[in-house]
Structure 1
Amino acid sequence: MHPIAKLAALTVSAALVLAACGTAGAPAAAKRTIYMSAVEYKGSTEVAKEPFPAQAVPAGGGYQLKEPKDGKWENSTYRWEPGTIVVYQGDDVELQIWGVNGKEHPGRIEGYDKAFGVQRGQLTTVSFKADKAGVFRILCDIHNPSMTGTLVVLGR
């Protein structure tokens, strides 16, 4: 075989292999069930080991700082876990959210007109069609700014 013909055959073969290994695009639309929790992280220490912070916490209820009592001070924050959800446009999404801490979490997904409530010790189901690509906030209206998650909807 002529060297140029060999090179052409090798180039075509390599292109076919690379094409077969390339990305096939987004997977077909599917039902996506994501398991989440509404949680509160807490920390504490003794004033003798660490001084009480002088800086005020951001407004909104998501961050809490308790004044020293009996030589000890505490802090806490509320979060959605996981904090980021990734789905594809066209997916049927079901969020299963377990309430671990906090009496209640009135939540909503911006851009999807989806409101829901999560209570401690209860499972809340939030279902919707991911019909808009983009990045959307998952909010708790009484524990912001820290209890803000992110819904990422990838386009097809």
Structure 2
Amino acid sequence: LAGAATQAGEISLRIVNVVTPQDVKIWEPTSIAAKKGDSVTLQLVNRHADEHGFEIAAFNVKEVVGGEKTSTVKFTADKAGIFPIKCQLHAAHVVGQLLVLE
């Protein structure tokens, strides 16, 4: 899991949109871990010509990253649990999960 912290603080990760050998577009890493209370910053790098979405609905994160562009999202992981990460623009692009530990 990318981003695991030993105590509440700040997490900063680079998340890159890639294509798997099966021609599926995903954001990597697919699993992100944080502790409850962490301030999370994600740099979203889209290496494709088409725009792609990145959404963690539980934390009101909803970003559209333009083709061959980079965006940054920030949020506080203020609740514990496992939360889906998805592309809100392309339902077939299942992204992964955010694990927030107590």
Shorter-chain TM range is 0.7 to 0.9
Q: Give the residue type in structure 1 aligned to 2:7.
A: A
SS at match of 1:111: helix
8 Å CA contact retained: 1:39, 1:102: no
Are residue 105 (structure 1) and residue 52 (structure 2) matched?
yes
Distance 1:81 1:127 in 2: 17
8 Å CA contact retained: 1:78, 1:143: no
Name 2:101's counterpart in structure 1.
Answer: 154
Deviation at 1:107, TM superposition (A): 2.4
1:28/1:42 Cα in 2 relative to 1: closer, same or farther (>3 Å)?
Answer: closer
Count of residues in Structure 1 that have an aligned counterpart in Structure 2: 98
Seq. identity, %: 33
Distance 1:92 1:105 in 2: 24
Are residue 41 (structure 1) and residue 12 (structure 2) matched?
no
Q: Give the residue type in structure 2 aligned to 1:86.
A: A
Q: Give the residue type in structure 2 aligned to 1:106.
A: G
Q: Give the residue type in structure 2 aligned to 1:40.
A: V
Q: Give the residue type in structure 2 aligned to 1:34.
A: L
Name 2:31's counterpart in structure 1.
Answer: 84
Distance 1:78 1:142 in 2: 12
Name 1:119's counterpart in structure 2.
Answer: 66
Q: Give the residue type in structure 2 aligned to 1:30.
A: G
Distance 1:82 1:101 in 2: 17
Distance 1:99 1:109 in 2: 17
Bigger share in strand: 2
**What TM-score does the superposition give when structure 2 sets the normalisation length?**
0.84
Are residue 31 (structure 1) and residue 18 (structure 2) matched?
no
SS at match of 1:127: strand
Bigger share in helix: 1
